[in-house]
Amino acid sequence: MIDLRSDTVTRPSPAMRKAMADAEVGDDVFGDDPTVHRLEAAVAERLGKEAAVFVTSGTQSNLCALMAHCGRGDEYIAGDSAHTYRWEAGGGAVLGSIQPQPVRMLDDGLPDPVHIAEVIKPDDPHFARTRLLCLENTKDGMVQSIERMAEATSVGRAAGLNLHLDGARMWNAVVSLGVDPADFTADFDTVSMCLSKGLGAPAGSVLSGSRDLIAEARKWRKMLGGGLRQVGILAAAGLHAIENNIERLAEDHARAARMAAGLAEIPGITVTSQSTNMVFVDIKFASPELQSTLKGMGILARVSSSPARLTTHLDVSDDDIDAVIAAFGRATNP
Ligand SMILES: *Cc1c(COP(=O)(O)O)cnc(C)c1O
């Protein structure tokens, strides 16, 4: 099957599995796992941060960050369709007693700087204390440049807020922009990145930042049930991913662009956006039937409604792109 549903569907390659099998391990709750230490050091170094902590998922990473920055009754600002606001089951509010303040997002996923300035609360007993601004990059595959992010972060900094980057797919942005990852993340106090998306590891995220914030996040990770034992087996997959699978993201981007160009030729399909490894399409005949027809042709894609998101990743080849374009042509114009 060619699986276009997400870049989370990749299976560990034989080389990654070998790295996992060979991993040196110890009890990471005791701080004894050398492979976890290597992964944390490697990520901190690439992002120019003092420290990093390996966590189970992007959701846990963002929540540990929220709880490290904010206390009970504090507030964080995030875009109204940001993962940290909309897609994490309200964890900041439920588990952190932290009030979310959503702001509208501009077309490229940047929280509107004007709206950010409007919602920052003055020091007044009526209000939650605004503590943190969260950005997300990439957002639906879309990239904001370093200068573009600064339009929002400068407003937050001027008001004394801390800054967090939900960089679940930050490597897609870094590769697409051709910038140094440390420059990309320099403005942020904490940065979360996923190993389990475009980088192809089976699990895990890494949160990086200052020594103090990461020590605090480590405590919350334990409270949230994320203290794991001989987890160097997973960290080895993460190390393999950052050593081998970052530069090659450019191939996923090129394939997504080629898929977008091919699909745009098909009557009834309109490509509404393509950036990095994601293609969004409006399909005139979107339906559960279309989805099962494509499945019968060996393609897994969520096309029961429009717009549909199609994603490229490690397990989608050039030949697969040709097969996808041909199958969409046949399935939508029988
Ligand atoms: C996937 C994702 C997350 C959460 O990661 P999980 O590992 O699925 O919990 C957070 N933020 C963004 C932008 C994501 O795409």
pLDDT attached to residue 332? 87
Minimal-distance CA residue to ligand 1 atom 12: 168
pLDDT attached to residue 30? 97
Alpha carbon distance 168, 278 (integer Å): 14
Mean pLDDT of 247-275: 97
pLDDT attached to residue 221? 98
* Closest among 29, 26, 140 to 87, alpha carbons compared: 140
Mean pLDDT of 43-64: 98
Alpha carbon distance 59, 61 (integer Å): 5
Residues 6 or more apart whose Cβ sits within 8 Å of residue 168: 58, 83, 136, 192, 193, 194, 197, 205
Q: pLDDT exceeding 90 applies to what percent of the chain?
A: 98
Mean pLDDT of 47-71: 98
pLDDT attached to residue 31? 96
**d(CA 196, ligand 1 centre) in Å:** 9
pLDDT attached to residue 57? 98
Residues 65/83, Cβ–Cβ less than 8 Å: no
Minimal-distance CA residue to ligand 1 atom 15: 168
At residue 255 the predicted structure's pLDDT band, cuts being 50, 70 and 90, is very high
Q: What is the pLDDT of residues 209-219, one digit of tens each?
A: 999 999 999 99
Q: pLDDT exceeding 70 applies to what percent of the chain?
A: 100
At residue 333 the predicted structure's pLDDT band, cuts being 50, 70 and 90, is confident
Residue 234 has pLDDT above 90, yes or no: yes
Residue 334 has pLDDT above 90, yes or no: no
Question: Could you tell me the CA-to-CA distances from 149 to 122, 152, 246, 296 in Å, in that order?
Answer: 24, 6, 22, 43
Alpha carbon distance 104, 181 (integer Å): 27
Mean pLDDT of 241-251: 98
**d(CA 168, ligand 1 centre) in Å:** 6
What does the DSSP 8-state code read for residue 110?
P
Alpha carbon distance 253, 249 (integer Å): 6
Alpha carbon distance 164, 143 (integer Å): 16
End-to-end, the C-alpha distance of the chain in Å comes to 21
Mean pLDDT estimate for the chain = 97
State the closest ligand 1 atom to the C-alpha of 83, by its place in the atom list counted from 1.
Answer: 11
Alpha carbon distance 168, 233 (integer Å): 21
Domain annotation for the chain: domains and CATH numbers: 14-244 (3.40.640.10), 248-332 (3.90.1150.10)
